[in-house]
Amino acid sequence: MDTKTLLVGQEVCMVSGVYLKKGKVVKVTPSGVEVQLALAEGPIRSEGNELIRFDTNGKACDSRDIYRGNMEWNGIPGTFECGPWELADIPFEERAATSRRKVFVSAKQ
């Protein structure tokens, strides 16, 4: 995903393998975007909401100054099983519905 097309306030879907998280763009810069995790997706901390920084290609990059999660590789947030977060090029609801359909179909077989 090209982050140059994103706008502040826009909802985005973050993907790491089979895992999905919902977020909102809170800052756009020439080097990428910062995304705030939805309250249900990130821990509530006294410092404020969790943020993850993404580069211009939509790949999570060093966010250790704004992210406090425990699944990181040299400051890059992600999941233990599937690696760093990436921004998906389709809305969260559509991506989540597609994932649920795949799980339902494979369970029926």
Quick: pLDDT tens for 1-10.
889 899 999 9
**Per mean pLDDT, which range of 10-19, 50-59, 81-90, 99-108 is the poorest?**
99-108
Domain housing 49: 3-108
The whole-angstrom separation of Cα 3 and Cα 89 is 10
Whether 104 has a pLDDT exceeding 90, the answer reads no
- Residue 73's DSSP bridge partners are 76
The whole-angstrom separation of Cα 67 and Cα 56 is 18
The reported pTM is: 0.78
**Per mean pLDDT, which range of 60-64, 75-79, 96-100 is the poorest?**
96-100
- The residue that leads in pLDDT, 9 or 67, is 9
Q: Specify the number of domains making up the chain.
A: 1
Contacts of 34 (CB under 8 A, 6+ apart): 25, 26, 27, 51, 52, 53, 54, 66
